[in-house]
Amino acid sequence: MNCESESSFLGKESYAALQNSSSPRSVKSTGRTQYHLNPQASYKVAILGAAGGIGQPLALLVKINLYDIANVKGVAADLSHCNTPAQVSDFTGPSELADCLKGVNVVVIPAGVPRKPGMTRDDLFNINASIVKTLVEAVADNCPEAFIHVISNPVNSTVPIAAEVLKQKGVYDPKKLFGVTTLDVVRANTFVAQKKNLRLIDVDVPVIGGHAGITILPLLSKTKPSVCFTDEEIHELTVRIQNAGTEVVEAKAGAGSATLSMAYAAARFVESSLRALDGDGDVYECAYVQSDVADLPFFASRIKLGKKGVEALISSDLQGLTEYEQKAVEALKAELKSSIEKGVGFAQKQSVAAA
């Protein structure tokens, strides 16, 4: 799916809700900073995998250009009836993928198979790795300067795959490739607010590492506003945030995975990207990107977004950690390193096979 939007692609109410859920930004004397996209600006966003479990609700939230291998026309027709300013276009199958991507500013990739009960993210690897490789090749050929938002799991491996594909195509810009880990932040904020009876709008918990199991590390010591946790609460919250995806998979009992919350989180990250492209100088999100903050090639941490993508890595979040958090960072490194190497190895092997 592909969407061309003037100003924010969301309605005022939805836009405000996403704004309020975002990481706190600077506050003026009159209160919370407000920012609106330039009404003269026009942006194109493409969702690759728009007919899927994440793609459909994400398309509803952002109402944009839709692509999938089947069932896209119905989704686009449905969305076109919404009285929001974004224009919706649909593209079906490989023969229309290039047209979907032409002139696109932000590409979102939720395509792939979802997790089912008993599946790990690694179980998804072989199928989703090939899908991401094919789609990123098309992005490299048709809109190489676009921001690329990778949602397809396992993100710890699919982002390195995307990077290798872009390198092979000679268009890799590490500042414009993102693994979307916003859902981990959304969950952390929600669970902490519930546990401590805080207003959700006030809560911001940075989440670092990766996007699977123990590689997901909420920095509860860095929670804003400042909150005191018992050791038991820290362990309980950390484990719940790390296993929240499994919690949803099991609750749906074979009927799906975390599609709605993922779509919501992805829409927030898209909104942040468009604000950054539009010149907002105060956009911060957590994302899995090429990084040197933890001696790993890729790492999730807070970043500052700008017109050219990642403007800064906020390494200060990794300073002054508690003993629990320091141990957790060391514990996650081996697993994250292995996932990165798995993705790089897959992409390089595919490249050799195609030569």
The more confident residue out of 108 and 18 is: 108
What are the tens digits of pLDDT across the range 178-219? 999 999 999 999 999 999 999 999 999 999 999 999 999 999
**What is the structure's pLDDT at 126?**
83
* 3-class secondary-structure state, position 177: strand
Q: What is the mean pLDDT of residues 80-95?
A: 91
Q: Which amino acid is at 244?
A: A
pLDDT reading at 19 higher than 90: no
Cβ contacts of residue 126 below 8 Å, gap of 6+? none
Give tens-digit pLDDT for 134-157: 999 999 999 999 999 999 999 999
The pLDDT value recorded for residue 2 is 62
Q: What is the mean pLDDT of the chain?
A: 88
Is 211 among the catalytic positions?
yes
Report the chain's C-alpha Rg in angstroms. Answer: 19
Confidence tier at 355 by pLDDT (50, 70, 90) = low
Task: Report how far residue 246's alpha carbon sits from residue 311's, in angstroms, rounded to the nearest whole number.
Answer: 33
pLDDT band, very low/low/confident/very high, at 1 (cuts 50, 70, 90): low
Q: Which has the closest alpha carbon to 275: 65, 33, 87, 29?
A: 33
Report the binding-site residues.
Answer: 49-55, 68, 115, 121, 128, 151-153, 187, 262
Q: Which amino acid appears at position 90 of this protein?
A: D
Q: Which residue of the set 36, 81, 149, 211 is catalytic? A: 211
Summarize the confidence of residues 329-342 as an average pLDDT. 97
Mean pLDDT of 154-164: 97
Whether 342 and 123 have beta carbons less than 8 Å apart is answered as: no
| Total count of residues recorded for the chain | 355
**Residue ranges of the binding site for NAD(+):** 49-55, 68, 128, 151-153, 262
> What does the pLDDT read at residue 22?
46
40 confidence band (pLDDT: 50, 70, 90): very low
How confident is the model over 268-318, as pLDDT tens digits? 999 999 999 999 999 999 999 999 999 999 999 999 999 999 999 999 999
Most confident of 117-131, 174-188, 338-352: 174-188
